[in-house]
Amino acid sequence: MEWLAQAAGHADRNIPLRNYCSGLLLDTERKSIEPMAARLAPDHVQSMHESLHNFVAVSAWSDADMLRQVRNYVLPAMQKIGPVVAWVVDETSFVKKGVHSVGVARQYCGRLGKKENCQVAVSLSVATATGSLPINWRLYLTEEWVKDAERRTETHVPDEVQFQTKPEIALAQIRQAVEDGVPPGVVLADEVYGSNREFREGVAHLKLDYSLAVRSNTTVWALEHQPLPPKPWNGKGRRAKCMRRDQAHRPITVEQLARSLPEKAWREVSWREGSKETLHSRFAALRVRPAYGDDRKEGLQPEQWLLIEWPTGAAEPSGYWLASLPVKTSLKRLVGISKHRWVIERDYEELKSELGLAQYEGRSWRGFHHHATLCIAAYGFLIAERSRFSPSAHLGNLRLRAAPLPPQFRTRGSKGSRPTT
Protein backbone atom coordinates (compact mmCIF):
# COMPACT_ATOMS: atom_id res chain seq x y z
CA MET A 1 0.00 0.00 0.00
CA GLU A 2 2.92 2.35 0.63
CA TRP A 3 4.07 1.68 -2.95
CA LEU A 4 0.62 2.40 -4.40
CA ALA A 5 0.22 5.52 -2.28
CA GLN A 6 2.95 7.16 -4.36
CA ALA A 7 0.45 7.29 -7.25
CA ALA A 8 -2.49 8.57 -5.20
CA GLY A 9 -1.38 12.20 -5.43
CA HIS A 10 -2.20 13.55 -1.94
CA ALA A 11 -1.38 12.05 1.43
CA ASP A 12 -5.00 12.39 2.55
CA ARG A 13 -5.93 9.74 -0.04
CA ASN A 14 -3.68 7.08 1.50
CA ILE A 15 -6.17 5.84 4.09
CA PRO A 16 -9.12 5.62 1.65
CA LEU A 17 -6.82 3.83 -0.79
CA ARG A 18 -5.88 1.30 1.86
CA ASN A 19 -9.51 0.86 2.91
CA TYR A 20 -10.81 0.39 -0.63
CA CYS A 21 -8.18 -2.21 -1.53
CA SER A 22 -8.75 -3.97 1.78
CA GLY A 23 -12.47 -4.08 1.03
CA LEU A 24 -11.81 -5.67 -2.36
CA LEU A 25 -9.65 -8.37 -0.73
CA LEU A 26 -12.16 -9.26 1.99
CA ASP A 27 -14.38 -12.31 1.58
CA THR A 28 -17.60 -10.31 1.33
CA GLU A 29 -20.11 -11.53 -1.25
CA ARG A 30 -20.32 -8.13 -2.97
CA LYS A 31 -17.52 -5.62 -3.47
CA SER A 32 -19.63 -2.50 -4.09
CA ILE A 33 -19.12 0.45 -1.75
CA GLU A 34 -21.99 -0.13 0.71
CA PRO A 35 -21.19 -3.73 1.73
CA MET A 36 -17.46 -2.95 1.86
CA ALA A 37 -18.15 0.00 4.17
CA ALA A 38 -20.32 -2.16 6.42
CA ARG A 39 -17.56 -4.74 6.70
CA LEU A 40 -14.69 -2.29 7.14
CA ALA A 41 -16.36 -0.04 9.75
CA PRO A 42 -19.53 -1.63 11.17
CA ASP A 43 -19.84 1.14 13.77
CA HIS A 44 -19.28 4.01 11.30
CA VAL A 45 -20.81 2.76 8.05
CA GLN A 46 -21.98 6.15 6.78
CA SER A 47 -18.66 7.93 7.20
CA MET A 48 -16.76 4.98 5.68
CA HIS A 49 -19.23 4.90 2.77
CA GLU A 50 -18.65 8.60 2.08
CA SER A 51 -14.89 8.19 2.28
CA LEU A 52 -14.82 5.24 -0.15
CA HIS A 53 -17.24 6.91 -2.55
CA ASN A 54 -15.30 10.16 -2.60
CA PHE A 55 -12.03 8.32 -3.23
CA VAL A 56 -13.28 6.17 -6.11
CA ALA A 57 -15.79 8.48 -7.79
CA VAL A 58 -14.65 12.04 -7.03
CA SER A 59 -10.91 12.22 -6.28
CA ALA A 60 -8.88 13.17 -9.34
CA TRP A 61 -6.00 10.71 -9.04
CA SER A 62 -4.67 9.22 -12.29
CA ASP A 63 -5.65 5.72 -13.42
CA ALA A 64 -2.61 5.63 -15.70
CA ASP A 65 -0.22 6.54 -12.87
CA MET A 66 -1.75 3.97 -10.54
CA LEU A 67 -1.64 1.18 -13.14
CA ARG A 68 1.98 2.09 -13.93
CA GLN A 69 2.81 1.83 -10.24
CA VAL A 70 1.08 -1.56 -10.04
CA ARG A 71 3.00 -2.77 -13.08
CA ASN A 72 6.33 -1.57 -11.72
CA TYR A 73 5.69 -3.55 -8.52
CA VAL A 74 4.19 -6.73 -9.93
CA LEU A 75 6.04 -7.33 -13.20
CA PRO A 76 9.50 -7.80 -11.63
CA ALA A 77 7.99 -10.41 -9.30
CA MET A 78 6.43 -12.22 -12.28
CA GLN A 79 9.71 -12.11 -14.20
CA LYS A 80 11.51 -13.94 -11.40
CA ILE A 81 9.64 -17.05 -12.54
CA GLY A 82 9.90 -16.43 -16.28
CA PRO A 83 10.24 -13.71 -18.95
CA VAL A 84 7.41 -11.85 -20.65
CA VAL A 85 6.15 -13.92 -23.59
CA ALA A 86 2.99 -12.11 -24.72
CA TRP A 87 0.91 -8.95 -24.66
CA VAL A 88 -2.75 -9.96 -24.62
CA VAL A 89 -5.49 -7.70 -25.98
CA ASP A 90 -9.03 -8.54 -24.96
CA GLU A 91 -12.33 -7.07 -23.88
CA THR A 92 -14.78 -7.88 -21.15
CA SER A 93 -18.42 -6.93 -20.67
CA PHE A 94 -20.71 -6.07 -17.77
CA VAL A 95 -24.45 -6.62 -18.12
CA LYS A 96 -26.48 -3.64 -16.88
CA LYS A 97 -30.22 -3.30 -16.34
CA GLY A 98 -30.47 0.48 -16.61
CA VAL A 99 -29.39 3.00 -19.23
CA HIS A 100 -27.71 5.67 -17.08
CA SER A 101 -24.30 4.13 -16.35
CA VAL A 102 -21.48 5.41 -18.52
CA GLY A 103 -21.11 3.55 -21.82
CA VAL A 104 -24.14 1.31 -21.39
CA ALA A 105 -25.60 0.32 -24.77
CA ARG A 106 -27.14 -2.63 -26.51
CA GLN A 107 -24.05 -4.26 -27.99
CA TYR A 108 -22.31 -7.61 -28.25
CA CYS A 109 -21.70 -9.12 -24.82
CA GLY A 110 -18.94 -11.72 -24.88
CA ARG A 111 -19.99 -13.19 -21.54
CA LEU A 112 -23.44 -14.03 -22.95
CA GLY A 113 -22.40 -14.57 -26.58
CA LYS A 114 -25.10 -12.24 -27.92
CA LYS A 115 -26.22 -8.60 -27.98
CA GLU A 116 -27.30 -7.30 -24.60
CA ASN A 117 -27.52 -4.08 -22.60
CA CYS A 118 -23.99 -3.85 -21.22
CA GLN A 119 -20.71 -1.97 -20.78
CA VAL A 120 -17.60 -3.17 -22.63
CA ALA A 121 -13.99 -2.44 -21.67
CA VAL A 122 -10.83 -3.08 -23.69
CA SER A 123 -7.66 -4.10 -21.87
CA LEU A 124 -4.01 -4.92 -22.49
CA SER A 125 -2.29 -7.52 -20.31
CA VAL A 126 1.35 -8.53 -20.08
CA ALA A 127 1.88 -12.28 -19.71
CA THR A 128 4.65 -14.65 -18.75
CA ALA A 129 4.32 -18.40 -19.29
CA THR A 130 2.63 -18.79 -15.89
CA GLY A 131 0.87 -15.51 -15.11
CA SER A 132 -0.53 -12.28 -16.50
CA LEU A 133 -1.43 -8.77 -15.38
CA PRO A 134 -3.72 -6.15 -16.97
CA ILE A 135 -1.67 -2.97 -17.48
CA ASN A 136 -4.16 -0.79 -19.35
CA TRP A 137 -7.94 -0.50 -19.21
CA ARG A 138 -10.41 1.63 -21.15
CA LEU A 139 -14.20 1.73 -21.48
CA TYR A 140 -15.51 1.46 -25.03
CA LEU A 141 -18.12 4.06 -25.98
CA THR A 142 -20.33 3.50 -29.01
CA GLU A 143 -20.48 6.27 -31.58
CA GLU A 144 -24.03 7.08 -30.49
CA TRP A 145 -22.86 7.44 -26.88
CA VAL A 146 -19.97 9.70 -27.80
CA LYS A 147 -22.30 12.06 -29.68
CA ASP A 148 -24.84 12.29 -26.81
CA ALA A 149 -23.81 15.51 -25.06
CA GLU A 150 -26.40 15.15 -22.29
CA ARG A 151 -25.29 11.69 -21.23
CA ARG A 152 -21.63 12.70 -21.49
CA THR A 153 -22.29 15.55 -19.07
CA GLU A 154 -24.27 13.37 -16.64
CA THR A 155 -21.51 10.75 -16.46
CA HIS A 156 -18.60 13.22 -16.60
CA VAL A 157 -16.96 11.79 -19.72
CA PRO A 158 -13.82 13.91 -20.36
CA ASP A 159 -13.96 16.23 -23.36
CA GLU A 160 -10.86 14.63 -24.89
CA VAL A 161 -12.57 11.23 -25.08
CA GLN A 162 -13.82 10.81 -28.64
CA PHE A 163 -15.09 7.82 -30.57
CA GLN A 164 -12.55 5.07 -31.17
CA THR A 165 -13.13 1.56 -32.41
CA LYS A 166 -12.00 -1.27 -30.16
CA PRO A 167 -8.94 -1.98 -32.35
CA GLU A 168 -8.03 1.73 -32.20
CA ILE A 169 -8.27 1.69 -28.39
CA ALA A 170 -6.16 -1.47 -28.20
CA LEU A 171 -3.51 -0.10 -30.57
CA ALA A 172 -3.24 3.06 -28.46
CA GLN A 173 -2.73 0.89 -25.37
CA ILE A 174 0.00 -1.09 -27.12
CA ARG A 175 1.68 2.10 -28.30
CA GLN A 176 1.68 3.42 -24.73
CA ALA A 177 3.23 0.20 -23.45
CA VAL A 178 6.00 0.51 -26.03
CA GLU A 179 6.64 4.12 -24.98
CA ASP A 180 6.74 3.03 -21.32
CA GLY A 181 9.40 0.44 -22.09
CA VAL A 182 7.35 -2.59 -21.06
CA PRO A 183 9.31 -5.79 -21.91
CA PRO A 184 7.96 -6.84 -25.33
CA GLY A 185 5.96 -9.96 -26.03
CA VAL A 186 4.03 -11.45 -28.94
CA VAL A 187 0.76 -9.52 -29.32
CA LEU A 188 -2.29 -11.81 -29.05
CA ALA A 189 -5.92 -10.91 -29.75
CA ASP A 190 -9.16 -12.40 -31.03
CA GLU A 191 -10.67 -11.89 -34.48
CA VAL A 192 -12.28 -8.53 -33.60
CA TYR A 193 -8.75 -7.15 -33.59
CA GLY A 194 -6.89 -9.64 -35.80
CA SER A 195 -9.28 -9.18 -38.72
CA ASN A 196 -8.65 -5.43 -38.65
CA ARG A 197 -5.93 -4.61 -41.16
CA GLU A 198 -5.00 -1.28 -39.54
CA PHE A 199 -4.53 -3.02 -36.19
CA ARG A 200 -2.21 -5.66 -37.64
CA GLU A 201 -0.20 -3.08 -39.53
CA GLY A 202 -0.05 -0.83 -36.48
CA VAL A 203 1.39 -3.62 -34.35
CA ALA A 204 3.93 -4.47 -37.06
CA HIS A 205 4.90 -0.80 -37.34
CA LEU A 206 5.77 -0.87 -33.62
CA LYS A 207 8.23 -3.71 -34.37
CA LEU A 208 6.23 -6.25 -32.38
CA ASP A 209 5.48 -9.82 -33.43
CA TYR A 210 1.87 -10.97 -33.30
CA SER A 211 -0.37 -14.00 -33.56
CA LEU A 212 -3.89 -12.72 -34.16
CA ALA A 213 -7.09 -14.66 -34.72
CA VAL A 214 -8.83 -13.81 -38.00
CA ARG A 215 -12.22 -14.56 -39.51
CA SER A 216 -12.77 -17.41 -41.92
CA ASN A 217 -13.41 -15.02 -44.83
CA THR A 218 -9.97 -13.37 -44.54
CA THR A 219 -8.28 -13.57 -47.95
CA VAL A 220 -4.65 -14.55 -48.53
CA TRP A 221 -2.18 -15.60 -51.18
CA ALA A 222 -0.75 -19.03 -50.29
CA LEU A 223 2.95 -18.96 -51.15
CA GLU A 224 2.94 -22.58 -52.32
CA HIS A 225 0.32 -21.67 -54.93
CA GLN A 226 1.26 -18.03 -55.44
CA PRO A 227 1.45 -16.90 -59.09
CA LEU A 228 4.52 -15.12 -60.37
CA PRO A 229 3.82 -11.38 -60.30
CA PRO A 230 3.69 -9.56 -63.63
CA LYS A 231 5.94 -6.55 -64.11
CA PRO A 232 3.87 -3.49 -65.05
CA TRP A 233 5.62 -0.18 -65.51
CA ASN A 234 5.44 2.02 -62.42
CA GLY A 235 6.55 5.25 -64.09
CA LYS A 236 9.79 5.41 -62.10
CA GLY A 237 12.14 3.60 -64.42
CA ARG A 238 11.61 0.13 -62.96
CA ARG A 239 9.03 -2.62 -62.77
CA ALA A 240 6.65 -2.59 -59.81
CA LYS A 241 5.96 -5.65 -57.68
CA CYS A 242 2.34 -6.70 -57.53
CA MET A 243 0.11 -9.77 -57.60
CA ARG A 244 -1.57 -10.88 -60.80
CA ARG A 245 -5.35 -11.27 -60.50
CA ASP A 246 -7.34 -13.01 -63.18
CA GLN A 247 -9.70 -15.98 -63.43
CA ALA A 248 -6.82 -18.40 -62.83
CA HIS A 249 -4.98 -16.42 -60.17
CA ARG A 250 -7.00 -15.08 -57.27
CA PRO A 251 -6.45 -14.94 -53.51
CA ILE A 252 -8.67 -17.29 -51.53
CA THR A 253 -10.23 -17.21 -48.09
CA VAL A 254 -8.45 -18.96 -45.26
CA GLU A 255 -11.39 -21.38 -45.00
CA GLN A 256 -11.06 -22.31 -48.67
CA LEU A 257 -7.35 -22.78 -48.18
CA ALA A 258 -7.92 -25.00 -45.14
CA ARG A 259 -10.32 -27.22 -47.10
CA SER A 260 -7.83 -27.54 -49.95
CA LEU A 261 -4.98 -28.85 -47.79
CA PRO A 262 -4.03 -32.52 -48.08
CA GLU A 263 -4.32 -34.82 -45.08
CA LYS A 264 -0.55 -34.91 -44.64
CA ALA A 265 -0.56 -31.16 -43.89
CA TRP A 266 -2.34 -31.71 -40.57
CA ARG A 267 -0.65 -32.67 -37.31
CA GLU A 268 -1.88 -33.35 -33.80
CA VAL A 269 -0.38 -30.88 -31.30
CA SER A 270 -0.81 -30.47 -27.54
CA TRP A 271 -0.20 -27.09 -25.93
CA ARG A 272 -0.93 -27.15 -22.19
CA GLU A 273 -2.42 -29.09 -19.31
CA GLY A 274 -6.12 -28.37 -18.84
CA SER A 275 -8.13 -28.91 -15.66
CA LYS A 276 -8.92 -32.49 -16.68
CA GLU A 277 -6.50 -33.48 -19.43
CA THR A 278 -3.83 -32.26 -21.80
CA LEU A 279 -5.33 -29.90 -24.37
CA HIS A 280 -4.65 -30.98 -27.94
CA SER A 281 -6.08 -30.59 -31.42
CA ARG A 282 -5.19 -30.89 -35.11
CA PHE A 283 -3.34 -28.01 -36.78
CA ALA A 284 -1.78 -26.99 -40.08
CA ALA A 285 0.50 -24.02 -40.77
CA LEU A 286 1.76 -22.51 -44.00
CA ARG A 287 3.29 -19.30 -45.25
CA VAL A 288 0.91 -16.77 -46.81
CA ARG A 289 0.61 -13.11 -47.75
CA PRO A 290 -2.55 -11.22 -46.75
CA ALA A 291 -4.55 -10.03 -49.79
CA TYR A 292 -5.97 -6.51 -49.66
CA GLY A 293 -8.18 -5.01 -52.34
CA ASP A 294 -6.22 -4.20 -55.49
CA ASP A 295 -2.73 -5.65 -55.07
CA ARG A 296 -1.53 -3.57 -58.00
CA LYS A 297 -1.99 -0.53 -55.77
CA GLU A 298 -1.29 -2.15 -52.43
CA GLY A 299 1.86 -4.05 -53.47
CA LEU A 300 3.06 -7.28 -51.91
CA GLN A 301 2.30 -7.70 -48.21
CA PRO A 302 4.87 -9.23 -45.85
CA GLU A 303 4.67 -13.01 -45.71
CA GLN A 304 3.64 -14.58 -42.42
CA TRP A 305 2.26 -17.74 -40.90
CA LEU A 306 -1.33 -18.84 -41.28
CA LEU A 307 -2.18 -21.25 -38.47
CA ILE A 308 -5.37 -23.29 -38.83
CA GLU A 309 -7.06 -25.47 -36.21
CA TRP A 310 -9.39 -28.23 -37.41
CA PRO A 311 -10.21 -30.70 -34.64
CA THR A 312 -10.41 -34.33 -35.68
CA GLY A 313 -14.00 -35.22 -36.59
CA ALA A 314 -15.20 -31.61 -36.77
CA ALA A 315 -17.17 -30.47 -39.82
CA GLU A 316 -15.11 -27.31 -40.27
CA PRO A 317 -12.04 -25.52 -38.90
CA SER A 318 -12.45 -23.92 -35.48
CA GLY A 319 -9.81 -21.19 -35.68
CA TYR A 320 -7.44 -19.23 -37.88
CA TRP A 321 -4.47 -17.05 -36.90
CA LEU A 322 -2.13 -14.78 -38.85
CA ALA A 323 1.26 -14.71 -37.13
CA SER A 324 4.30 -12.59 -37.92
CA LEU A 325 6.64 -14.97 -36.09
CA PRO A 326 9.95 -15.99 -37.71
CA VAL A 327 9.93 -18.48 -40.57
CA LYS A 328 11.82 -21.04 -38.46
CA THR A 329 9.16 -21.10 -35.74
CA SER A 330 8.12 -24.67 -34.87
CA LEU A 331 4.49 -25.70 -35.11
CA LYS A 332 4.39 -26.45 -31.37
CA ARG A 333 5.67 -22.97 -30.58
CA LEU A 334 3.21 -21.42 -33.03
CA VAL A 335 0.28 -23.25 -31.46
CA GLY A 336 1.46 -22.63 -27.90
CA ILE A 337 1.83 -18.88 -28.21
CA SER A 338 -1.38 -18.48 -30.25
CA LYS A 339 -3.34 -20.38 -27.60
CA HIS A 340 -1.77 -18.45 -24.72
CA ARG A 341 -4.54 -15.85 -24.90
CA TRP A 342 -6.49 -18.05 -22.46
CA VAL A 343 -4.64 -16.41 -19.54
CA ILE A 344 -6.75 -13.28 -19.84
CA GLU A 345 -9.88 -15.37 -19.29
CA ARG A 346 -8.38 -16.50 -15.99
CA ASP A 347 -7.63 -12.88 -15.09
CA TYR A 348 -11.17 -11.75 -15.74
CA GLU A 349 -12.65 -14.72 -13.88
CA GLU A 350 -10.64 -13.91 -10.76
CA LEU A 351 -11.19 -10.16 -11.09
CA LYS A 352 -14.94 -10.58 -11.41
CA SER A 353 -15.68 -13.49 -9.09
CA GLU A 354 -13.18 -12.73 -6.30
CA LEU A 355 -12.32 -9.03 -6.48
CA GLY A 356 -15.60 -7.39 -7.53
CA LEU A 357 -14.61 -6.01 -10.93
CA ALA A 358 -18.21 -6.27 -12.20
CA GLN A 359 -19.86 -5.00 -9.03
CA TYR A 360 -19.31 -1.25 -9.21
CA GLU A 361 -22.67 0.50 -8.89
CA GLY A 362 -21.70 4.06 -9.81
CA ARG A 363 -22.43 5.71 -13.14
CA SER A 364 -19.50 8.01 -13.86
CA TRP A 365 -16.53 7.61 -16.20
CA ARG A 366 -14.06 8.32 -13.37
CA GLY A 367 -15.68 5.94 -10.92
CA PHE A 368 -15.84 3.10 -13.47
CA HIS A 369 -12.14 3.40 -14.29
CA HIS A 370 -10.99 4.02 -10.70
CA HIS A 371 -12.82 0.94 -9.43
CA ALA A 372 -11.33 -1.26 -12.18
CA THR A 373 -7.86 0.16 -11.52
CA LEU A 374 -8.08 -0.68 -7.82
CA CYS A 375 -9.37 -4.19 -8.60
CA ILE A 376 -6.31 -4.67 -10.82
CA ALA A 377 -4.09 -3.31 -8.02
CA ALA A 378 -5.53 -5.87 -5.59
CA TYR A 379 -5.13 -8.62 -8.17
CA GLY A 380 -1.56 -7.52 -8.84
CA PHE A 381 -0.75 -7.81 -5.14
CA LEU A 382 -2.00 -11.41 -5.17
CA ILE A 383 0.05 -12.17 -8.30
CA ALA A 384 3.18 -10.73 -6.68
CA GLU A 385 2.59 -12.81 -3.55
CA ARG A 386 1.96 -15.93 -5.60
CA SER A 387 5.25 -15.34 -7.44
CA ARG A 388 7.12 -15.74 -4.14
CA PHE A 389 6.12 -19.41 -4.02
CA SER A 390 6.86 -22.42 -6.17
CA PRO A 391 4.76 -22.80 -9.36
CA SER A 392 2.62 -25.53 -7.74
CA ALA A 393 1.71 -23.52 -4.64
CA HIS A 394 -1.84 -22.58 -3.66
CA LEU A 395 -2.65 -19.21 -2.14
CA GLY A 396 -5.28 -18.62 0.52
CA ASN A 397 -9.00 -18.63 -0.16
CA LEU A 398 -8.72 -17.18 -3.67
CA ARG A 399 -7.61 -20.56 -5.03
CA LEU A 400 -5.04 -18.92 -7.30
CA ARG A 401 -2.70 -21.48 -8.80
CA ALA A 402 0.45 -20.88 -10.81
CA ALA A 403 0.43 -23.25 -13.77
CA PRO A 404 3.52 -25.32 -14.59
CA LEU A 405 5.75 -23.91 -17.32
CA PRO A 406 4.24 -25.04 -20.65
CA PRO A 407 6.66 -26.97 -22.90
CA GLN A 408 6.33 -24.52 -25.80
CA PHE A 409 8.05 -21.88 -23.67
CA ARG A 410 10.91 -24.23 -22.83
CA THR A 411 11.59 -25.73 -26.25
CA ARG A 412 13.47 -23.98 -29.02
CA GLY A 413 12.03 -24.04 -32.55
CA SER A 414 13.22 -26.41 -35.23
CA LYS A 415 15.77 -25.35 -37.81
CA GLY A 416 13.56 -26.03 -40.83
CA SER A 417 11.39 -23.43 -42.52
CA ARG A 418 8.24 -25.57 -42.22
CA PRO A 419 6.73 -25.96 -38.74
CA THR A 420 7.22 -29.32 -37.09
CA THR A 421 5.89 -30.90 -33.91
Show the DSSP H helices in 196-320 as ranges: 197-205, 254-260, 295-298
For the chain, the distance separating the N- and C-terminal CA atoms, rounded to the nearest angstrom, is: 46
The string of pLDDT tens digits covering residues 362-399 is 999 999 999 999 999 999 999 999 887 755 544 443 44
221-249 mean pLDDT: 48
CB atoms near residue 92 (< 10 Å): 25
Say if residue 404's pLDDT is above 70.
Answer: no
Helix (H) or strand (E) holding 212: strand 210-213
Name the phi and psi angles at 387, rounded to 5: -70, -15
Q: Which amino acid is at 412?
A: R
Name the phi and psi angles at 209, rounded to 5: -75, 155
Comparing 221-230, 267-276, 330-339, the range with the smallest average pLDDT is: 221-230
d(CA 395, CA 383): 10
Whole-model pTM: value is: 0.85
Non-local (6+) Cβ contacts of 67 within 8 A are 134, 135, 136, 137, 373, 376, 377
194-223 mean pLDDT: 94
Show the DSSP H helices in 237-313 as ranges: 254-260, 295-298
d(CA 169, CA 333): 28
The string of pLDDT tens digits covering residues 129-188 is 888 999 999 999 999 999 999 999 999 999 999 999 999 999 999 999 999 999 999 999
Tell me what pLDDT residue 194 has: 95
Q: Is 262 exposed, middle or buried (0-12, 13-18, 19+ CB in 10 A)?
A: exposed
The mean pLDDT of the chain is 85
Q: Is 73 exposed, middle or buried (0-12, 13-18, 19+ CB in 10 A)?
A: middle
Q: Which of these, 146, 145, 156, 153, lies nearest to 58 by C-alpha position?
A: 156
Compute the 3-state secondary structure of the chain and give helix, strand, coil in percent, each to the nearest 5.
40, 20, 40
Tell me what pLDDT residue 400 has: 44
Strand bridging mode 210-213 / 394-395: unpaired
The string of pLDDT tens digits covering residues 10-24 is 888 999 999 999 999
Tell me what pLDDT residue 240 has: 38
The string of pLDDT tens digits covering residues 318-358 is 999 999 999 999 999 999 999 999 888 888 999 999 999 99
Strand bridging mode 400-401 / 252-253: unpaired
Contact 364, 110 (CB under 8 A): no
More confident residue, 113 or 419: 113
d(CA 95, CA 42): 30
Please give the full DSSP string across 280-295, using - where no structure is assigned. EEEEEEEEEEE--S-H
Tell me what pLDDT residue 392 has: 52
Contacts of 243-252 with CB under 8 Å at 24 or more apart are 243/289, 243/291, 243/295, 243/296, 243/300, 245/295, 245/296, 251/219, 251/220, 251/221, 251/291, 252/219, 252/220, 252/222
Say if residue 402's pLDDT is above 60.
Answer: no
287-300 mean pLDDT: 68
Helix (H) or strand (E) holding 415: none
Tell me what pLDDT residue 262 has: 93
Comparing 109-113, 258-262, 302-306, 347-351, the range with the smallest average pLDDT is: 109-113
How far is residue 69 from each of residues 63, 122, 381, measured CA to CA in Å?
Answer: 10, 20, 11
Q: Which of these, 342, 294, 301, lies nearest to 322 by C-alpha position?
A: 301
Tell me what pLDDT residue 390 has: 57
Tell me what pLDDT residue 48 has: 95
